[in-house]
Structure 1
């Protein structure tokens, strides 16, 4: 992958999203479309963004019984996403069925721990131990279930990469040096994540909310 940056394009208006993606498409490697975008614009919106010619990452974080998740995977075949997310905590059967139902050219990656959460948040959901331990357990489960990789923060990607040499690792919650963390709790710079083994760098607000999104994307690209 020549450019690992995927722009997180979660916007309420399709035309706004199209315009933003058009501005930065020469400086990103793909577009990430999450729940906000998919719920607002559906398959039509995905098709429209896809016309820009960049790979599409559908960050739907599917999490349900195995049969339902498999059905959802089959339903999005026509969208030809390059990457789709499922929650690794859905269990091995769900992960196996998700991968089996995915398109031939679609990577399925398991979300381990949201970058908006920290260890206190984990404890409140009844999960003990450190964030690192939790991510490593779910990474092992995803690997055993046959997924292509996982989503994790930049704090864990190096350790996961050391254990899963050929894995595909998506790292969100990235902020350029000196950038505001916002609602993210476990952030690193794009360069650090890339050096530690990240395959895809998901970057949203540092680009989308910049005064000049294209310039912001260029500056981040230049650090890699």
Structure 2
């Protein structure tokens, strides 16, 4: 049975799943000077939602539906993530999310073929969403929203932006999150190779540079 309150728990940035430690590439963009203000953040969020956000939503929805083996989805995300630093960050968040999911919702079924480093975050989110009794649309909504809410929160800390203005940006993207979620939920029967593979090269490059920096506020 679908529960809006349960969905809020999953999408809450305070969920103890490590999301607060990751900026989704925003810190690298700020450090490089490519992002300086609210207008830059708006462009960053829209770009992230249209690329990695779209991919994550599709894979989270598919993992929740369970019609495509989760191990295949995990391999598909590996192929769509050229940056080793981003792969490590995704799997770290996946492990943390599984731990939180098991503590909150009980059993979360994890495929035997899962790498020792743990599943990618979208796959883990889909599995936890299913364990919470929710469906693919809810998994996709949580994934899409998480793709922008994490960087938005990081921007307040890194740039000292007005939190009201930042949340207005998030509210303005709510319709796009819903659209991505509906599209993702309609693709849960598709094979891995047919799922979205949108790329964001600057995020990949920035992740590698960010990982080499000695002083940083966020893990990614």
Write 1 or 2 for the structure with the bigger share of strand. 1
Say whether the fold is shared (TM-score over 0.5).
Answer: no
**Whose relative contact order is higher, 1 or 2, with alpha carbons under 8 Å and at least 6 apart?**
2
Shorter-chain TM-score: what band?
under 0.3
TM-score (norm. length: structure 2) = 0.25
TM-score if structure 1 supplies the norm length?
Answer: 0.25
Please state which structure has a larger fraction of its residues in helix. Answer: 2
